[in-house]
Amino acid sequence: MTRKVYVANNADGTVSVIDTATDKVSATIPVSAECSALAGCPFGVGVSPDGKKVYLANVETDNVTVIDTATNTVIGFIPVGVAPVAFGVFIQPPPRFAGTPGQANCYGQSVAALVQQFRGLNSAAVALGFSSVSALQNAIIAFCGG
């Protein structure tokens, strides 16, 4: 799986795509012809929960650019209010696991399913976006009602 970071370049109206495996810029995406050093545009990036789209707030053009992460191309613009700013966090529903909340074996079933699917809890934590195995375990406990 390729991991990318999208960085808003406000002064030149572009977005840099950084390949985290190499720590190098792999692409530079122009946001809009209306963006320039005098009318800086990109001011914050948000990534969809599935990682398929990047949303870029354009502070001077009052819209949001939509970028397809598979192709690193602009696929649309969304008109919004005046001078939008974004800070990259999408609110997601709480995670669901394999066990049944409230049942004594909920935690064990959930862990077993994750170990089988991801070949270990470390891999599961990374794949699911948890900062550590402990954070994943705490989420399972919360899901199970404990």
* pTM value > 0.75: no
What is the pLDDT of the chain when averaged over all its residues? 83
pLDDT score recorded for residue 24: 94
Band (pLDDT 50/70/90 cuts) for residue 92 is low
For 33-65, what is each residue's pLDDT tens digit? 666 555 557 888 888 777 788 888 888 888 888
pLDDT score recorded for residue 25: 95
Cβ atoms 38, 44 nearer than 8 A: no
| Cα dihedral across residues 14, 69, 78, 87: positive or negative | negative
pLDDT score recorded for residue 91: 47
- Which of 100, 95, 144, 104 lies closest to 124, judged by CA? 95
Q: Which domains does the chain have, with CATH numbers?
A: 4-79 (2.40.10), 106-144 (no CATH)
Phi and psi at residue 123, to the nearest 5°: -65, -40
